[in-house]
Amino acid sequence: MHLESSTAEHLLQKRKGLRRELLQTGGLKDVRIAVLGGSTTNEVADFLELLLLADGFRATIYQSDYNRYYEEAVLAPEALIAFAPEIVYVHTTGKNLQGFPILSATAAEAQAAAEAEAARFAGIWRALQEKLGCQIIQNNFEAPAARLLGNLDAVSPGGRSHFVNLVNLAFARAAAGNGKLLIQDLNGIAAQVGLANFHDAHRFHAYKIVTTVEASLAVARSLASMVRSIYGKSRKCLVLDLDNTLWGGVIGDDGVDHIKIGRETAEAEAYTAFQEYCLALRSRGVLLAVCSKNEEANARQGLAHPDSVLRPEHFAAFRANWSPKPDNILSMANELNLGVDSFVFVDDNPAERALVAAQLPMVAVPDVGNDVSSFAAVLEMGRYFEPVALSGDDLQRAEQYAANSQRAAQTAQFADYGEYLASLQMRAEIARFRSQYLDRIAQLTNKTNQFNLTTRRFTLAEIEDRAVDQAYIPLYGKLTDSFGDNGLVSVVVGRLADSVVHIDLWLMSCRVLKREMELAMLDALVERARTAGATTLRGTYIPTEKNAMVADHYDRLRFTPLPDSDDGPRAWSLNIAAYEKRNRHISVKETFDD
């Protein structure tokens, strides 16, 4: 069930029924979220629970008493500790800001006041990290509802708007150096809703609710998108129609010279602006795909138009034919090794949208209407591609998929697969987790479904803990070949207990399947396990709906099944005393830095 376009009024009226219906959904992931409020938080929490249910999460939500966010985090955390949240959300607003500078304050005095206020919140984050070690989401602050100095309020050191900007900047700097702290941009949400529609003075005086109902829903939507991203459920691929979506007109009827694109008319400029938006998404790692009812030659002609911003090489998958669009989307999911729940489908034709939504309910199909001027705004409101961090791999993803197409073409030139692997001139870097890769590692653990032996999910905070805990052997693997850098593609987490290394996590990006990267990772794990004094590796396979491809992973690596173990028939062991390295085609950079 998709609730992206549901209004606040609809959700409030139907909440109980929707909740009952969504709770019947199979495969819900449990998540424990504590909401520490500087105001009454019931409304945001209710919306959040519903939105997360629609996204596949069954949230258990703890709420602090009214305006006790500091006390419960710092002074009396017992109830919070007992709840053991995976995520703590600090829901503060401008009402909770303290220490505003006086109107005659100097710039230095205003800066000091902002730093003092930021330090008060830093105390909250530090206490939460020490006592709970969980992921923290903290609001920054919306612009003041009353600007006592008018336009000067944002300029004068004594202005409240100026103070809010300084505190928000301090929050951003704190989050940049702390992976366990995420900032929810409440200032941006208030601007999007409209400041006049964000605050409700009557509700605050009567119920201590700062926001309007619509603003509470906007906050909950943003928060739900961050939770999705933390657990790797943000969408990955934007599937685009062509005619009247990326350009105006029907290219098969009008001809390439008469489609509307470029800067000559307002209509053409609107299509160009949407293409620029799509290209910007691609530059931050969102894959683009074409799904159009067209002759392929015509479709490619349109993208070769001199005024087209998007070019054929910008698309990771391309389907221009007369097949039903749901079939084409399934075909592209298979080609890209992505689940259909990774896709967002944009088409100006409501009949095509309805067909895809009905046949592929896991695909997000926003109601973009037929005015291209609003397409980007609708996608932004849906927050489909929300990131909590941007890794180098994100920024290179589109190029990596393009290189995969070249590799696939080269495969056909070799009769012997070993010769093909040798031709790739693969080079790997395998090492213990490093700080610069933790965001990417957390991202992979939460979004990799197919080549994932246990599908255990970890927050960034948990990954950071394992990186420094000597009881663990946490390894990442990067792979480069003659076509380019594939980035960080594999993660293995071993846990040492007595003389046995238990493999809690083993995953690999589907971009590098059948490249023998798993052999290189096994060699590295064995080497480090021996150094740690272990004699045995023990692996577990936990089947899910999506990881059948690795059901025989440990058999292929010549582990011995353990049918009588506590883990049942899905556990294997490997005696590493006589183990010899098995990787044949990848040159591994020695980085034994444990």
* Span 467-515, pLDDT tens digits: 999 999 999 999 998 877 888 999 999 999 999 999 999 999 877 888 8
239 pLDDT more than 60: yes
The dihedral formed by the CA atoms of 168, 171, 172 and 176, expressed in degrees to the nearest 10: 180
Exposed, middle or buried: residue 373 (CB in 10 Å: 0-12, 13-18, 19+)? middle
Phi, psi of 334 (to 5 degrees): -70, -40
**Cβ contacts of 572 within 8 Å, gap of 6 or more:** 538, 539, 540, 541, 554, 555, 559, 560, 561, 562
pLDDT at 225: 95
33 compared with 545, residue with greater pLDDT = 33
Exposed, middle or buried: residue 54 (CB in 10 Å: 0-12, 13-18, 19+)? middle
590 pLDDT more than 70: no
Triad 313, 314, 317: Cα angle to 5°: 85
Neighbour tally for 544: CB within 10 Å: 13
Q: Where are the alpha helices (H) located in 209-324, listed in sequence order?
A: 213-230, 251-254, 266-283, 296-303
**Cβ contacts of 78 within 8 Å, gap of 6 or more:** none
Distance CA 498, CA 77 (A): 35
- What is the percentage of the chain residues whose pLDDT exceeds 90? 75
Range with lowest mean pLDDT among 104-113, 321-330, 393-402, 569-578: 393-402
- What is the percentage of the chain residues whose pLDDT exceeds 70? 94
pLDDT band at 151 (very low <50, low <70, confident <90, very high): very high
Distance CA 33, CA 49 (A): 10
Distance CA 222, CA 60 (A): 18
pLDDT band at 164 (very low <50, low <70, confident <90, very high): very high
**In the block, which residue shows the tokens 């304050």?**
105
pLDDT at 392: 63
pLDDT at 412: 60
pLDDT at 564: 62
- Contact by Cβ (8 Å): 461, 512: no
pLDDT at 348: 95
pLDDT at 279: 96
**β pairing state of 135-139 and 181-184:** parallel
pLDDT band at 591 (very low <50, low <70, confident <90, very high): low
324 compared with 402, residue with greater pLDDT = 324
Exposed, middle or buried: residue 17 (CB in 10 Å: 0-12, 13-18, 19+)? exposed
pLDDT at 101: 95
Provide the residue type at 348 as one letter: D
Angstrom distances, CA of residue 285 to CA of 48, 308, 340, 440: 27, 20, 17, 12
**β pairing state of 87-91 and 484-497:** unpaired
pLDDT at 515: 87
pLDDT at 402: 66
350 compared with 416, residue with greater pLDDT = 350
pLDDT band at 569 (very low <50, low <70, confident <90, very high): low
Calculate mean pLDDT across residues 306-316: 94
pLDDT band at 396 (very low <50, low <70, confident <90, very high): low
Distance CA 477, CA 162 (A): 45
Nearest partner of 528 among 506, 558, 501, 556, judged by Cα: 501
Distance CA 410, CA 414 (A): 7
Can you read off the two tokens belonging to residue 365? 């199909």
314 pLDDT more than 90: yes
Distance CA 452, CA 450 (A): 6
Exposed, middle or buried: residue 61 (CB in 10 Å: 0-12, 13-18, 19+)? buried
pLDDT band at 231 (very low <50, low <70, confident <90, very high): confident
pLDDT at 390: 64
> Could you give the 3-state DSSP secondary structure of residue 115?
helix
